[in-house]
Amino acid sequence: MRRFLLPLALFLVLVGFLAVGLRLDPREVPSPLVGKPAPAFQAVALARPEATIKRDDLLGKVWMLNVWASWCAACREEHPLLVEYARRGGVPIYGLNYKDKREDGLGWLRRFGNPYTESLFDPDGRIGLDYGVYGVPETFVIDRTGVIRYKHIGPITPEVLRDKIEPLLRQLNA
């Protein structure tokens, strides 16, 4: 009998590893940008084509950069969470409207709510390139001295916001 239990035993060991593996993220590649100064940019505001925003304008406060686009389905998933967060009055969120058309982006914000203090308009994705964006949405936390402290790829979930981003923001604002 014992000999015939061997396949089951091997299988259970495998399951153990798979269960641990589920908690790990193979894509959680430590971003080379974390701990480095946020790349400089000079961008037109999405809602105010006459205004430009520079990275250095934002020094001195903790802020989040959220990369979004009207064509991005996953952005809609995280969007209510951002709107809710902004309503509660956390740190300012700046949007990076990535490879989008201005009217599409503005229409999207009118429809789903605007959690952003301001959205940077990046139609050709040049700023996104500097920030190493390879999937939308992505979210960066940037501290008072302009250093990137955290990067999240993919939609933010309530868990990520509660367990990772908010504790970090509290610590940075302390």
Partner 1 sequence: MIPEIGQFLLLLALGVSLVQGVLPLAGAQRGRADWMALARPASYAQFILVALAFVCLTASFVRHDFSVLYVASNSNSALPLAYRIAAVWGGHEGSLLLWVLMLAAWTAAVARFSRSLPIVFVARILAVLGLVAVGFYLFMLVTSNPFDRLIPAAADGRDLNPLLQDPGMVIHPPMLYMGYVGFSVAYAFAIAALIGGNLDATWARWTRPWTSAAWIFLTFGIGLGSWWAYNELGWGGWWFWDPVENASFMPWLVGTALIHSLAVTEKRGGFKVWTVLLAIMAFSLSLLGTFLVRSGVLSSVHAFATDPRRGLFILVFLVIVIGASLLLYAWRAPSVGLGQRFALFSKESMLLVNNMLLVVACGAVLLGTLYPLFLDALGMGKISVGPPYFDTVFALMMAPLLLLMGVGPLMRWKQDDAGSLARRLRWAVVVAIVAALAAGWAMGRISPATTGGLFLGCWIVAAIGVDLVERLKPRAGLGGSVFGRARLLPRAMVGMMVAHLGVAVFAIGVSMVKTYETERDVKMGPDSSTEIAGYVFRLLSLKDVQGPNYNAVQGRIEVSHNGRVIAMLSPEKRIYRVQNNPMTESDVDSNLFRDLYVSMGEQLPNGDWIVRVQHKPFIAWIWGGCLVMMLGGALAASDRRYRLRQTRSADLPAGAGAAR
Contact set with partner 1 (CB under 8 A): 1, 4-5, 7-8, 11-12, 14-15, 17-27, 71-73, 99, 111
Q: Which backbone phi and psi does 155 adopt, to 5 degrees?
A: -65, 140
Closer by beta carbon to partner 1, 8 or else 174 = 8
Exposed / middle / buried, residue 49 (Cβ in 10 Å: 0-12, 13-18, 19+): exposed
The smaller minimum CB distance to partner 1, of residues 38 and 72, is found at 72
Judge contact between 169 and 90, C-beta under 8 A: yes
Separation between Cα atoms, residue 77 and residue 93, nearest integer Å? 17
For partner 1, the closer CB: 63 or 131: 131
We find the least distance from the C-beta atom of residue 51 to partner 1, in angstroms, to be: 26
Instruction: Please state the closest distance from residue 41 (CB atom) to partner 1, in A.
Output: 20
Residue 153 three-state SS: strand
Q: Which is nearer to partner 1, 32 or 60 (CB)?
A: 32
Q: Which residues 6+ apart lie within 8 Å of 85 measured at CB?
A: 93, 115, 161
As measured in angstroms, the least distance from the Cβ of 1 to partner 1 is 5
Q: How far is the CB of 46 from partner 1 (least distance, A)?
A: 18
Least distance (Å) from partner 1 to the CB of residue 136? 10
Rounded to 5 degrees, φ, ψ at 44 are -80, 140
φ, ψ of residue 7 in degrees (nearest 5) = -55, -40
- Minimum CB distance to partner 1 smaller for 88 or for 110: 110
